[in-house]
Structure 1
Amino acid sequence: MNGPAPLLTLNNGVRMPALGLGVCQSTPDETVSAVTTAIEDGYRLIDTAAAYGNEKEVGEGIARSGIDREDIFVITKLWLTDYGHDATLRAFDTSLTKLGLDQLDLYLLHWPVPSAHDTTVASYRAAEKLLADGRVRAIGVCNHTPGHLAELMARTEVVPAVNQVELHPNFSQPELRAFDVRHGILTQSWSPIGGVNRYGGDGTGKVRDPLQEPTITGMAEKYGKSPAQIILRWQVEHDLCAIPKSVRPHRIAENIGIFDFSLTPHEVAAIDALDTGARGGPDPDRVALDTFS
């Protein structure tokens, strides 16, 4: 067994592992075994979402693991079709039922919706109610820029505990990370190894595969690690929480095998310098309620 990952403290005192398993694009059939394998390998954080269609299987995997519920940190997310105050409360109930849980560790709004900001605010206020009622231990958002966060915080009471965003060496979002730090928001990285660059892209020609960067492959050779492990260790050195996705047992084990070495400040800076400013996923400023329908 690898791990365990160190714990990061959220702005309300809740502690969350610095590395977890993501299950975006994992089919329901693959998800149960991926979750059980990850837990056996030392993972204690599982990230899913209503939109992924595998919350039920995540819950099954957790139940089969035999690990006490309080030792597993579970995240799920509200999808756009359920934005609005009352719809959010109903969607949360549905997610909790599918997961087979009595309480959630972290509930996130999946995207900002600039064209329907009032609806986004209403959903976040519903999340605040869930937090106040003790049904979730922390709340936050995904894919929010500093501007989105500032607008949301101006109209709500609870500062998001987490902002989950696309973040990898070729798109490292330093300004966003700095904003999050100033406001006590923990930045969580989806596509932390740059997988989005292998199946997406923004059409500018700037998008590259971080796993192929000579800077990273050179460090992998030096440390006897894989390029993916070097990237995940870079995430840890920046106090980020990474949630790499895999359904392959050897990759799941490899991804958590990063706590027996560290990178030097010079090496971290060299990876920082790979940033192109080009995202591989959708632009949050362009998301609307019907964007993904």
Structure 2
Amino acid sequence: MTSITESSSRYNQLEQMSVRDLLNHINEEDRTVPEAVAKAIPQLEKLVEATVAKMEAGGRLFYIGAGTSGRLGIVDASECPPTYGVPHGLVIGLIAGGDSAIRKAVEFAEDDEQQAWKDLQAYDITAADVVVGIAASGRTPYVIGGLRNARQHGITTGCIVCNPGSGVAAQADFPVEVIVGPEFVTGSTRMKAGTAQKLVLNMLTTTTMIRLGRVEGNRMVHMQLSNQKLVERGTRMVMEALHIPEAEARALLEKWGSVKQAVENYAGN
């Protein structure tokens, strides 16, 4: 049976459409994605709660995926340290074919059911950690094998897939199934499926980091001051929190290295 993500597009003769029609139809399809994500929130809630519990106890979050799915996991993992000031080894994204596959597809890398577990073992993964498989189709051997091996070793597993009842979901303790339907270009899961996965990943790590105390109010008080824009943002945050002039706030920020430390160590408190 053809999976939903591989089923034929609702549109045809794409090459005969005008640019405006192509853009409008793609946008029409994209607008359905948040609705599909909303339906999966009860599943995602369970995965977030399990992830928070593991990370509060000192565990890490791993993503495994191939192609677009793997790249999305790497992007999400790489954004956690600068955004929330957590160590680079706390959220880790792994892609079939290794780091070279981030830029260039590695043929047949996703077909090896044993490689993901080897990749995870390189990080000394334990039952304290969580592994989330990302696969639009839900049938990627690299992801299925990684989750299966993780479960056999007592490791909590989750997944983000875009087909119901998939092989990947069968290996996940906490499956998240976001059913976005056929793609505008048949089978091009970097489109709606990829957008859905990105939204879910945003929700997963953002909610987890908030629950771990990495946000106060609505501010990223632990963010890394890695460029001038972030220094200026941090300065404004210190100014607003302490009601002090810009020069004083910037000096505090430069001295203590984070908004939270600057506020907590302000002599005027």
Task: Determine if the TM-score, normalized by the shorter chain, exceeds 0.5.
Answer: no
Greater per-residue strand proportion: 1
Greater per-residue helix proportion: 2
Question: Whose Rg is larger?
Answer: 2
Q: Normalising by structure 2, what TM-score?
A: 0.31
